[in-house]
Chain A
Amino acid sequence: MADPVLKIDGLEVLFPGFAGDVHAVNGVDLDVQPGEIVGLVGESGSAKSVTAMTALGLLPTGAFRQSAGTISILGRDVATMSEREMNKLRGGDVAMIFQEPQTALNPTKTIGKQMLRVIELHSDLRGMAARDRAIELLKDMRINDAEEILGRYPFELSGGMRQRILIGMAFACSPKLLVADEPTTALDVTVQRQVLQLLHAKARQTGASVLFISHDLAVISQFCDRIYVMYAGRVVESGPAQKVLGNPQHPYTAALIEALPEDADPGAPLASIPGTVPNLVNPPKGCAFQARCRHAHAACDSRPVLTDVGSKHQAACWLREEISA
């Protein structure tokens, strides 16, 4: 089997702070195989973004510390890569799109200038050839007046248009991995669906793997082959999307699905579960979900590890251990 495009092992990330270190990521294992679309789901603050940004080296230097774990991209350990090699990777083999299309583009540069920048940085295309490539990318994103859009500034365009441009830019150099961090959360529902379909089609067509971060269980279930459910900086359940969502094995996943109203809009944000996420300055020693779990019992004072609960289906919960034992 080919190398996984992304493999994260035992990742721990903390943010030093006055009130103590914020332990945002507490031992995450995750992999994305070639051509796979993998979902990362969890409540706000569960460290989906931090995990993804650490993998790509996009967290602001100085603000965080990776205290444990290894990350490899396309079979190479990023810790051994120079800044230069990482720059070559980012925007080339690995692309990322973010949640806020309204602010993700430089406000004082035209779309064309920003697109050509990526294309020229990672390919041999120059001048008209690079421009043609930009137009082609925009057309793929169903932007018809592409030539005209190249001369526009971001503030002249709608959010949906900007996100389509950013997706086009992300695919500029045929990435092998695309990390999409809630790419449609800021868009309105009809636009969301359209943008998601474009993203999905483009990924399938180019064979790019996608790490898709989302709040939205409905979207995740349609869109992803496999999912990871995160809670308080840990993976609590993972497996094929249909299995995890159809037959959740972790009480947190089950609560997420239960909290989803029957007639929920496809674009509705993650419904809320009673209780609050644990304080990450002093993360719980045992199961992080303990305080909100209706099945909590004595064993939960120590931390459960991910164990197989079905084929390719894993959950980190003492309940499953005991049942299967």
Chain B
Amino acid sequence: MSFLNVIRRRLMFLILVLFGVTVITFTISNLIPGDPARMIAGDRATPEIVQNIREDLGLDKPLPVQYLRYLEGVVQGDFGNSIRTRRPVLEDLRIFFPATLELALTALFFATALGIPLGVASAVWKDKPIDHFVRVIAVTGISTPAFWLGLLVILLFYGNLGWLPSGGRIDPSLEMPTRVTGFLMIDSLLAGDFQAFGSALKHILLPAFTLGFVHLGVVARQVRAAMLEELQQDYIRTAKANGLSRFKVVFTEALPNAMIPSITVLGLALGDLLYGAVLTETVFAWPGMGAYVVNSIQALDFPAVMGFTVVVSLAYVLINLAVDLIYMAVDPRIREVS
């Protein structure tokens, strides 16, 4: 199986997924009672005005026609205009999606940067205090509701200690760096604005910790299990018989192989984090997709909701593609199969 084959297969899958997702969301959007044209026009509009708007938006056409029109737009990168913000949906997504992705990736970084070493340590020192400690963290992580943990850390680090801000992405008094990637931490560095970078970093710490904490335990447990599995393999014995130090046996022999099954878990975690961000964003007033989509649903802003759905599905499929490709890059046995 070659890289190209995998990419081709995943992209075909992507088309199917997008088709399915748009059909479903489109149908649901149109089943929900409420008239977008009337929402746009406002309470005091005459029926003629409402009718005009309806015709402008093509809402008077039969559903299949509306759907095809929508699809035609999507293919060209046009998700229509948001009814609520009156901007192109794509423009809104460009603003809000990177904010969510930045939060999710930072949370994933936090979960892996701590989770992998903790997992390795608890496998190497199985049944020792560090192992028990990791088990406690994992159980706590899985059983702690994110909003509760969020409020707790706000109370502590903002309320009591006053070290970190309670919400937002950046100090409102600072000028936003020019948008390049949409990731504030990267854009501020690109602009050479260290003050903005520091503020962005401070703002992301608490929400990323809150969001990543659940996955910290998941990652640690996964790495622990995979490491225990690898450490009892025969090739580890060979490595020791070859005179490799304990350190090298763990980090250059066992760990790379233990990371192979962990890649799937990390991919799933990222998908989960994107979705989980919605809740965390609410707690920390993080201006991302979470807030955007909740507001859009309340405003019956169908183009916005559909745009969100399409982008999230796209992200899921791309994450899976990345997982597949990484798998192939690191495991020669998979490259070879079929």
Query: Given A153-B333, A156-B336, is A92 in contact with B235 using a C-beta cutoff of 8 Å?
Result: no
Assess whether B260 is in contact with A90, with CB atoms less than 8 Å apart: no
- Interface membership of A121, Cβ < 8 A: yes
Shortest distance from the beta carbon of B258 to any chain A beta carbon, whole Å = 11
Residues of B close to A100: CB separation below 8 A: 234
CB of A69 closer than 8 Å to a CB of B = no
Closest to B243 in A: A91
> Is A317 part of the contact surface with B, judged by Cβ < 8 Å?
no
Q: Is B246 an interface position by the 8 A CB rule?
A: yes
Q: Which residues of A contact B173 (CB under 8 A)?
A: none
User: How many angstroms between the C-alpha atoms of A87 and B239 in the bound complex?
Assistant: 10
A104 touches B238 (CB 8 A): yes
Selected contact of A104 from candidates B235, B256, B257, B260, CB within 8 Å: B235
Give the chain A neighbours of B330 by CB distance below 8 A: 108
CB distance from A152 to the nearest CB of B (A): 9
Using known A-B contacts A107-B257, A108-B260, determine if residue A121 contacts B235 with beta carbons closer than 8 Å. Answer: no
- Judge whether A104 and B333 touch: CB under 8 Å: no
Residue of A nearest to B127 (CB): A62
- In the docked arrangement, what's the CA distance between A168 and B289, Å? 59
Q: A87 contacts which chain B residues (CB < 8 A)?
A: 243-245
CB nearest to B242 among chain A residues: A91
B residues within 8 A CB of A97?
Answer: 241
Given contacts A58-B237, A98-B238, are A108 and B331 in contact (CB under 8 A)?
yes
Indicate if A218 sits at the interface (CB-CB under 8 A). Answer: no
In the bound assembly, the distance between CA atoms of A166 and B333 in angstroms comes to 20
Q: Are B243 and A105 in contact (CB under 8 A)?
A: no
Which parts of A70-97 form the interface with B (CB within 8 Å)? 83-84, 87-92, 95-97
In the complex, what residues of A have CB within 8 A of residue B257's CB?
106-108
Name the residue in B241, B244, B257 with the highest tally of chain A Cβ atoms < 10 Å from its Cβ. B241
Q: Which of A142-183 contact B (CB under 8 A)?
A: 153, 155-156, 166, 169
The verdict on A133 contacting chain B, using a C-beta distance below 8 Å, is: no
Residues of A within 8 A of B333 (CB): 107-108, 153, 155
Given contacts A107-B257, A108-B330, A108-B331, contact A95 B234 (CB under 8 A): no
Q: When each residue 243-277 of chain B gets 1 if its CB lies under 8 Å from chain A and 0 otherwise, what string results?
A: 11110000001001100100000000000000000
Given contacts A91-B243, A107-B332, A108-B331, 5 further A-B contacts (CB under 8 A): A89-B243, A107-B333, A108-B330, A121-B242, A153-B336
Residues of chain A with a CB closer than 8 A to B260's CB: 108
Query: In the complex, which residues 223-242 of chain B have their Cβ closer than 8 Å to any Cβ of chain A?
Result: 232-235, 237-242
State in angstroms the CA–CA spacing of A89 and B244 once bound together: 10
Q: Is the interface of B mostly helix, strand, loop or mixed?
A: helix
Instruction: Kindly identify which residue among A58, A60, A84 contacts B241, using a CB–CB cutoff of 8 Å.
Output: A58
Complex Cα gap A58–B331 (Å): 27
**Contacting residues, chain B, for A155 (C-beta < 8 A):** 332-333, 336
Q: Assess whether A22 is interfacial by the CB under 8 Å rule.
A: no
Which B residues lie within 8 Å of A60 (CB)? 232
CA of A106 to CA of B234, assembled, Å: 8
CB distance from A12 to the nearest CB of B (A): 22
Taking a contact as CB atoms under 8 Å apart, the answer to whether A103 and B242 are in contact is no
- Closest A residue to B237 using CB positions: A58
Contact A117 B242 (CB under 8 A): yes
Q: Report, nearest first, the 6 A-B pairs whose CB atoms are least far apart.
A: A91-B243, A91-B242, A103-B234, A90-B243, A96-B241, A106-B235
Is B240 a contact partner of A104 (Cβ separation < 8 A)?
no
* Residues on B with beta carbons closer than 8 Å to the beta carbon of A56: 241
Residue on B with the closest CB to A101? B234
Chain B CB within 8 A of A118 CB = yes
A156 vs B235: C-alpha distance when bound (angstroms): 16
In the complex, chain A residues whose CB is within 8 Å of the CB of B246: 83
A167 → B minimal CB distance (Å): 12
**How far, in angstroms, from A156 to B335 measured CA to CA in the complex?**
12
CB distance from A173 to the nearest CB of B (A): 9
Given contacts A98-B234, A104-B237, contact A90 B242 (CB under 8 A): yes
Q: Which residues of A contact B237 (CB under 8 A)?
A: 58, 98, 104
A243 at interface, CB cutoff 8 A: no
The distance from the CB of B239 to the nearest CB of chain A, in whole angstroms, is 7
Contact A118 B242 (CB under 8 A): yes
Task: Give me 12 A-to-B residue pairs in the complex whose CB atoms sit less than 8 angstroms apart, sorted by A's number.
Answer: A83-B245, A87-B244, A91-B242, A92-B243, A95-B241, A96-B241, A98-B238, A104-B238, A106-B235, A108-B330, A108-B332, A118-B243
Expressed in whole angstroms, the Cα–Cα distance for A108 and B334 within the complex equals: 10
In the complex the two chains form, what is the Cα distance from A92 to B242 in whole Å? 8
Minimum distance in angstroms from B236 CB to a CB of chain A: 9
Name the B residues within 8 Å of A121 (CB-CB): 242-244
| CB neighbours of B253 from chain A (8 A) | 106
Q: Is A122 an interface residue (CB 8 A)?
A: yes
> Shortest beta-carbon distance, B253 to chain A, in Å?
6
> Contact between A90 and B332 (Cβ–Cβ < 8 Å)?
no
A90 & B235 in contact (Cβ 8 Å cutoff): no
Residues of B within 8 A of A104 (CB): 234-235, 237-238
